[in-house]
Amino acid sequence: MTTFTDPPSESFRLSMLLNDTRYRSYTFQFIALLILIVMMAYLGMNLVRNLAAAGLNISYEFLDQPAGYDINQSLIDYNSQSTHMTAAVVGIINTLLVAFLACLTATLIGVVAGVLRLSKNWLVSKLMAAYVEAFRNVPVLIWIIIIFTVVTAVLPGARAYLGEDPEYDLFLGMMAFTNRGVYIPALIWGPGSGVVAAVFVASIFGVFAYRRYARNLLFETGRLLPMGWPSLAILIVPSLLVFFVMGQPITMDMPDPLANRFNLRGGLQIGAPLIALWLALSIYTGAFIAENVRAGIQAISKGQTEAAASLGLRPNRIMNLVVLPQALRVIIPPLISQYLNITKNSSLAIAVGYADVTATLGGITLNQTGRAIECVLLLMLFYLVISLSISSIMNVYNKSVSLKER
């Protein structure tokens, strides 16, 4: 009787690193890594040697020195006597602010435009196609300058709201649109306001939890719960109740046109550079997102839509419950790249005078201190960390909506 046994395992030999296909790829990768390390070490040693020859060294002590310049918009306390580190933090916060706002707005614009591009209404679809082609094929810097010019040239000056022109009055008694920016009410946080803010944040999570519960209930039992008014009630009612129970700790500081002869006082000013950069990045990137949304929707078989319609679902329900959840698997990967583009394109803010991190750390601080290498390295590190963070968060979300296979 013949028996079959596994062949004896072959002992490892150095020649197998090149001759055996199981180890050859690792060998070449290790060699490439060594070459890269040697090249980076050579460049680093060359940099240190050249700096030493010029009497310089890499030092970040300049970050503790007074900046000596003002910043037109800051979300934290800052003045010209603050340090360069504080100025850099102000620039980082301004960059994150415009990137966050632009990502939200661009996503909204892109989803709406992408859906409308597939509309059966000829005029609507053609208008969306014209929007996509017009904004997608013109550099974003040009759109930033155009929108900034429109904002500063078309809107009236702040003095028009000071009683000099009866045609201009505060919109709804609380907002003013000027060539310097938009003046809106500012929130004043009193004692107990943190509790109201915490309840509002919890309400946001409650809305997502309710909508997930309603969706799962629909898929499991076919029972359809309302989405609109319960979500709105969960978002507003608890916060309002806590707001009044705590004695109305949050008040508003309104813009006052009579407090000064030359400018509006009070409220919160959103500067024209921020508005121009925000709108330009949103509308420009929204055109790319619209194409991603259109491609994702068209990737779904028409049979899915027809099957949902045969069950009596309305078109908006079909889009929200059948088409878009499946289209997200196609939309999310390129959407990550668009969010990264928004963050990096925000460095063009210097064209309209918006004080982002490139304008503060990579502009004024660099010119004042002469520490070009240090400032550029910090800029590279900041954008690298932000880009990797956005990619990680979106990849987690992409994994949650991806197709689950057995």
The tokens for 147 are 């929108």
Give pLDDT, residue 286: 93
Distance CA 151, CA 157 (A): 11
Is the pLDDT score of 263 beyond 70?
no
Residue 104 pLDDT class (50, 70, 90 cuts): very high
Q: How far is CA 399 from the centre of its chain?
A: 20
- Residue 80: pLDDT over 90: no
Q: How far apart are CA 355 and CA 365, in angstroms?
A: 12
pLDDT tens-digit series, residues 331-356: 888 888 999 999 999 888 888 888 88
Say if residues 132 and 290 touch (Cβ distance below 8 Å). yes
Mind listing the pLDDT tens digit for each residue in 17-28? Answer: 677 777 777 888
Average pLDDT, the chain: 83
Q: Does 107 have pLDDT greater than 90? A: yes
Residue 251: strand, helix, or coil: strand
Q: How confident is the model at residue 281 (pLDDT cuts 50, 70, 90)?
A: very high
pLDDT of residue 58: 78
**pTM across the whole model:** 0.80
Contacts 24+ apart (CB under 8 A), 395-402: 395/336, 397/332, 398/332, 398/333, 398/336, 401/325, 401/328, 401/329, 401/332, 402/329
Tell me how crowded residue 400 is: count the other CB atoms within 10 A of its CB: 10
Angle (CA) 142-144-147 rounded to 5° is 105
Q: HSE-up of 137 (CA within 13 Å, CB side)?
A: 6
Mean pLDDT over residues 151-177, rounded? 70
Strands, sheet with 181-184, edge to edge from the N-terminal-most edge strand: 176-178, 181-184, 268-271
Least confident of 55-59, 256-260, 342-346: 256-260
The mean per-residue pLDDT over the stretch 162-190 comes to: 73
Q: Are 246 and 192 in contact (CB under 8 A)?
A: yes
Q: What letter represents residue 328's amino acid?
A: L
Q: Across 164-168, 198-202, 269-273, which has the greatest mean pLDDT?
A: 198-202
User: Is pLDDT above 70 for 165?
Assistant: no
Weakest mean pLDDT among 248-262, 265-279, 354-368: 248-262
| Of 269 and 99, more confident | 99
Instruction: Report residue 143 as tokens.
Output: 């759109």
Angle at which helices 372-401 and 84-116 cross, to 10°: 40
pLDDT at 282: 93
State mean pLDDT over 247-257: 78
257 or 398, which is more confident? Answer: 398
Handedness of CA 277, 379, 67, 364 (dihedral sign): negative
The confidence score (pLDDT) of residue 62 equals 84
